[in-house]
Structure 1
């Protein structure tokens, strides 16, 4: 055999050896590094309904005074809700399964309830104390004492007061009611000690002090109210109810007994109902209610009902809510002079108080009934409580309660009229239009209902009622009450940003009583925290405004931001941010100059699953550009065309940055993420309306938006579904009578017959449904007798024969907003016409489905309905006729 000669191979020189060494080293390094990297890149999973239970909702709760600690909750549908306390520096964290009502005591303590057990955690040492059978608790303002109310007999409470070293300093049994002052420095309570009824006051300082206000051996005290240095309460005796007022500064107790006063209305008594007392801030006036004895406006259930067309109040409303002229009357008592004045009457039974509670505004809410507005117009009178004199303030003014607001110091009343803000000066009775010459609109420019446009807002006054702050579309304006000076404080219009004040303290968010329509009070030199919103991108951020400097960015705009909380004693703050693709995240900053720190990102398991994305899209209708929110299917591929669900209501593009947990527990059966992870596009178009044609407007916008997505080559035009609930359900039904564009549809709790709806009484408010058509959502803008043709052509039921789309409808049998009979009517029409239609009636549900079993049932059926018609999935048995 011939020898085989190998090709000649030149020996490598030194340079070749070096090159080969580094080449092999690089290959070795790449292989070694790539193996774990490849192991890390796992194929993401397809989300299934079994995975939904992993998702939670993040709720920011509290931040401690100096910002060392933050509490937040994660809430689950099928798992245990959990309250967390986390240190803002480092990773220290405490967990409270089923915890609620969490409160920090300075930087050292945190307390919360786990069912009826109080859990007290020392945040420094980590030690924990438990107290069972607790109804409520709170720390006093200086943090030295913990007050715990234990459940006692007959609904009463036992109060245990301990210092923070666990020493019991006071035990008070049989408490029937209690109130703390706004500062948290003292508490007043009513209790029973062996048949002796007491009202007592406890003050908290370095030590605890207690004093008795009044004692009685026969009758209990109740209905406490505590404001500043004044306490008021009632005592219901055998023949009358007495009124008491205690001045905590002078230690003087005043008493008013109606039986000792000839000017008290005959056959009446003082009401002892909860919340019936109100105190002026200076403590000089106590407002209370007078109830007529034997005032029973409800007739016998078996007696004949008398419905009179000249009645100002519908019989059904009168039956449920009582006859308005006979409601309890408001009165005021001056404890020092021991005299009273009745404020409201049968002729004008409703009232509100001015800022310093020295004047009352009264009106008759039924004055212009019958009419078509939800809130009837009213003539408003102003009463000087010092002498009882009255005069007309506003004639036939809007019934919207927020159109009349009080300055905090009581000097002025602001109100809206003909698209402007007006100021009434109480001292001289003058009316001034303060916005007429400014040149911008202070009422919603995008108002899209026939009713009166809503004002952007009057947020408050500077000290001593010097100037008033009002909003336009973008900015905050400061205007003097005589209208001679107006300045724009922010520069949102140039930046296309809407600036709004974020209240940081409770007193700037909540009224003292139902009679209180005061706006906020601001120091003219104080900083204002502002929320900045860019409608073009649906993003939110935060600014701080200072006089002479203007607004300055604190948190840049990006995605959706909310739940801003600032500390009381530092510059630290937290907020929550999210997008559709990024789960809600809690972010902390020690101040605006430092880098944000993520404290917790909810739903970290999302990274293991395929997930969609969202974007804003534009579409055109009659030359106008309108927006929609578009959601892409998970694991989207450009070369593929997908089915799509179009969900309609009104304007919805602002939801584009909302994170949506996948869930089968939906009140309307629709969930964006469920569908995107099942391989659908989801489209939420904005809809612009032409008055008199709500259905046609919805049809034009919905089809235009749908065509825009089809023309982009994203979806299969033969596999598009339509869904809506309530007004969206009405729109869905109407659209199906005008087009066969949609392969399947779902309509929930829908109006189907506008004529019968117009002539019905809404069970939610027991008012005629006229207002929904003439000034609200259904947008006809005229009465039935003024424009019959609009009611007829916009009624889906009258065009039901045109429907070719398979329709699944649902309703709650106890729906008080839209009667389920509307769905029954449509079902009968489609049944007669032999159309493909299924109707689900949930017997114990209202307008939205709240029972979790029913939520799951509805959500799954809607998914199966669209799965069958849009994705050719297997038909479910429940869809077939003649099931048992």
Structure 2
């Protein structure tokens, strides 16, 4: 018993011993120095004239470096900035940016700079050629394109612009609040209140400025609408209403407004005992907190306000002045889904009546002007289209379509899918596939979208595209791993970015010039910015130019079948300095379907999940990423079959040493690794991080992060069991790694964060306890202050990174003098 206690204590303390010399196989200083030189690119911006690009260089220890480069000359950097939080390209080759306490205007042609200190916010008005600087002293200045002061105003507490030609501010002076507008070359007062002006918002149509007033005596709120042209003032509602916030939605381009007066009372002290119920419909409420709503509609033409009370807890505006959506917050599906399902009612404001139009809806999209509603029925597993004007309903018979978008003329509904774009003709009720998109995963990029309700797990939106303009499509050919971008208009296609095997992580298009800029990468080339124009491709900027080794990278995408005949893929990376005369060890890393990651540039860094392809191929390993597809056998057996099928597909590779193969995974991949360790005889060692080990235990638990039960993750989520535990208990038992822990026959390294709110560390502890009871070779690492993923570049992630390299060297390369592993593996270690 004493030996067991010592062994457990050793495993808990092992992460503290790095500084005492246990990790000695790698020089940590040289590794850190090398990794620090690598970076990624993000936040690509392009000037309107296509002459300049800006982007962020994101290092693991530094994420605030912004680069400005010329677009017409390759790799020509004009400026390097740090601490940029907001930035804009202006006309005449100017760049305007805001940092932590300063702003700066740069003339990119001659390098001249104009500095502004103690700045809170910046705004641009490009249609006027103006830019604005709001200082921490609450003083606001507006300058023209020649940097001459145009206008100024003091005591500003908020500013709002349309980023084109309108600028409004709140000014608080002498116990009075007022709204000022920039008109020509001066600020003019357009509205004054003896109450507090809490907030201003420019309506999407820009016809009105919504002004939220707070009554000084009661803190109640009232909305005032200010006509931006006539400056006419309209008060909405029936005086001040006790609330904390007013959400304002414009209807039909300013014909009406929908107001939601929201308040959230302070939670009452938890009663003793705390009481919960087995049929509780309000678990979402406990997560979000109680909310109270008072709804009003204001008709601009009649200047009348009407309070709306449907008898339901929640309402949403549909872009229609008469009809609104209403629904109850109470859950109807016993939480078997990770999102809520609602019965949707249509409320008629004129007749003050409600009728149910859709049942058990998880996803809902509304057309402009509110004529149509399309929702995904969880009962029928189909999209249901409802005509609000004719009270007609139709089912769209296709199982695989998703993400609906209406044409703004209401003639069509476009659906995205894994197999192209589908177009539903509302009049003929015909659903057709656009031929040019067949066999491709397609997304519509130029969608105009407004979220009308997005809490309690709901996703209700207005989504539309302009029927008179081209649709921009992103297409991904899953068979060939190729991405392309096209414009589609009136059955004609214009290619914007030709098919490429590169991963395209960002895409910008200038619709006037048709110039396209992209951010691309691949397994053997770091991220680069390219410009496409008139059929020509030109490199603008290449990242990580010091990484000459990656050009030698070699990769293959394998296609094979599992034992059920399902076609799957796997991505094989060769050792970076591959020698065809040698045999190399192989490491498999698993996590769901991974083949699309074949185009990702593998740079070395200290990963938060312990898996880094570059560090492994740098150190002489083959790395294989087999896809894991789930089926009725359960996630464990599905993973086992897919992994073994992948190994079978690799048998023809003579340079892979089948006696030196390791398996690793994190989270869901850690679960698969732990399960396979109890069933397979084809691996020399394993590494499993932050993994579920007992499906039954996890099924009957609450998520610390979501404050909801975990069983939806099994029935309809990531584990895809499709049945509840009560219907097939053996499926859950048999797919649990802990159920056969005594069958683990090779060494396994486990790790977890003690603050993991996704998969509690107790699952790792449970598996370790089972290994301990059965005297299996194992080491567990508990990271005290870490979550599900370790913080990137933290001391813990560095520690895990080095231990993983040493673990594989020990078991796959026979490098045995590694003290922290020897303590477990040598017979006389204790």
Pairwise CA distance, 1:48: 5.3
Decide whether the 8 Å contact of 2:91 with 2:126 is kept in 1. Answer: no
Equivalent position to 2:158, from 167, 177, 180: 177
Q: Are 1:139 and 2:124 counterparts?
A: yes
Pairwise CA distance, 1:430: 0.6
Aligned to 2:616: 675
Pairwise CA distance, 1:284: 4.1
Equivalent position to 1:359, from 320, 323, 337: 323
1:53-94 deviation per Cα after TM superposition (whole angstroms, max 9, x unaligned)? 221112252111121222222222246753222222235531
Aligned to 2:281: 312
More strand by percentage? 2
Q: Tell me the distance in 1 between the aligned counterparts of 2:491 and 2:642.
A: 46
Aligned to 2:424: 479
Decide whether the 8 Å contact of 1:668 with 1:849 is kept in 2. Answer: yes
Q: Are 1:90 and 2:61 counterparts?
A: no
Aligned to 2:520: 577
Decide whether the 8 Å contact of 1:746 with 1:809 is kept in 2. Answer: yes
Q: Tell me the distance in 2 between the aligned counterparts of 1:139 and 1:578.
A: 33
Pairwise CA distance, 1:235: 2.0
Aligned to 2:169: 189
Q: Tell me the distance in 2 between the aligned counterparts of 1:660 and 1:76.
A: 14
SS at match of 1:768: coil
Change (3 A) 1:640 1:608: closer
Aligned to 2:764: 823
Q: Tell me the distance in 2 between the aligned counterparts of 1:791 and 1:747.
A: 20
Change (3 A) 1:309 1:340: same
Decide whether the 8 Å contact of 2:296 with 2:305 is kept in 1. Answer: no
Q: Are 1:163 and 2:144 counterparts?
A: yes
Aligned to 2:259: 288
Aligned to 1:28: none
Equivalent position to 2:209, from 231, 251, 259: 231
Q: Tell me the distance in 1 between the aligned counterparts of 2:441 and 2:481.
A: 11
Aligned to 1:16: none
Pairwise CA distance, 1:542: 2.2
Aligned to 2:8: none
Aligned to 2:9: none
Decide whether the 8 Å contact of 1:351 with 1:361 is kept in 2. Answer: yes
Q: Are 1:847 and 2:819 counterparts?
A: no
Q: TM-score, normalised by structure 2?
A: 0.88
Aligned to 2:366: 406
Aligned to 2:103: 118
Larger Rg: 1
Q: Tell me the distance in 1 between the aligned counterparts of 2:512 and 2:270.
A: 60
Aligned to 1:741: 682
> Structure 2 matches for 1:538-617, cutoff 5 A?
538-550=481-493, 552=495, 554-589=497-532, 591-593=533-535, 595-607=536-548, 611-617=552-558
Structure 2: gaps spanning 5 or more residues = 1-29
1:709-740 deviation per Cα after TM superposition (whole angstroms, max 9, x unaligned)? 24422311221111111111111111111123
Aligned to 1:70: 53
SS at match of 1:533: strand
Of 363-372 and 239-248, deviating more is 363-372
Q: Tell me the distance in 2 between the aligned counterparts of 1:141 and 1:667.
A: 42
1:184-206 deviation per Cα after TM superposition (whole angstroms, max 9, x unaligned)? 32122222124322122224xxx
Q: Tell me the distance in 2 between the aligned counterparts of 1:225 and 1:719.
A: 64
The Cα RMSD (Å) is 2.8
Equivalent position to 1:633, from 558, 575, 596: 575
Decide whether the 8 Å contact of 1:179 with 1:224 is kept in 2. Answer: yes
Equivalent position to 2:384, from 422, 446, 450: 422
Pairwise CA distance, 1:800: 0.7
Q: TM-score, normalised by structure 1?
A: 0.83
Pairwise CA distance, 1:431: 1.0
Decide whether the 8 Å contact of 1:71 with 1:86 is kept in 2. Answer: yes
SS at match of 1:215: strand
Q: Are 1:460 and 2:406 counterparts?
A: yes
Decide whether the 8 Å contact of 1:610 with 1:635 is kept in 2. Answer: no
Count of equivalent residues? 784
Pairwise CA distance, 1:160: 2.0
1:772-813 deviation per Cα after TM superposition (whole angstroms, max 9, x unaligned)? 111111222211111111111111112111112211112222
Q: Tell me the distance in 2 between the aligned counterparts of 1:171 and 1:338.
A: 37
Q: Tell me the distance in 2 between the aligned counterparts of 1:69 and 1:249.
A: 36
Structure 1: gaps spanning 5 or more residues = 1-46, 261-268, 445-454
Of 62-71 and 164-173, deviating more is 164-173
SS at match of 1:670: coil
Q: Tell me the distance in 1 between the aligned counterparts of 2:69 and 2:608.
A: 33
Decide whether the 8 Å contact of 1:53 with 1:77 is kept in 2. Answer: yes
Equivalent position to 1:53, from 33, 36, 53: 36
Q: Tell me the distance in 1 between the aligned counterparts of 2:285 and 2:550.
A: 56
Decide whether the 8 Å contact of 1:60 with 1:73 is kept in 2. Answer: yes
> Structure 2 matches for 1:141-540, cutoff 5 A?
141-152=126-137, 157-181=138-162, 184-203=164-183, 207-217=184-194, 219-222=196-199, 224-227=201-204, 228-237=206-215, 238-239=217-218, 240-256=220-236, 258=238, 269-273=241-245, 276-291=247-262, 295-296=265-266, 298-301=267-270, 303-314=272-283, 318-323=285-290, 326-334=291-299, 337-343=303-309, 345=311, 348-356=312-320, 358-368=322-332, 370-395=334-359, 397-398=360-361, 400=362, 402=363, 404-417=364-377, 418=380, 420-433=382-395, 435-436=396-397, 441=398, 443-444=399-400, 455-461=401-407, 463-493=408-438, 496-503=439-446, 508=448, 511=451, 517-540=460-483
Decide whether the 8 Å contact of 1:525 with 1:547 is kept in 2. Answer: no
Aligned to 1:649: 591
Q: Tell me the distance in 1 between the aligned counterparts of 2:263 and 2:518.
A: 51
SS at match of 1:118: strand
Change (3 A) 1:236 1:524: closer
Change (3 A) 1:357 1:596: farther
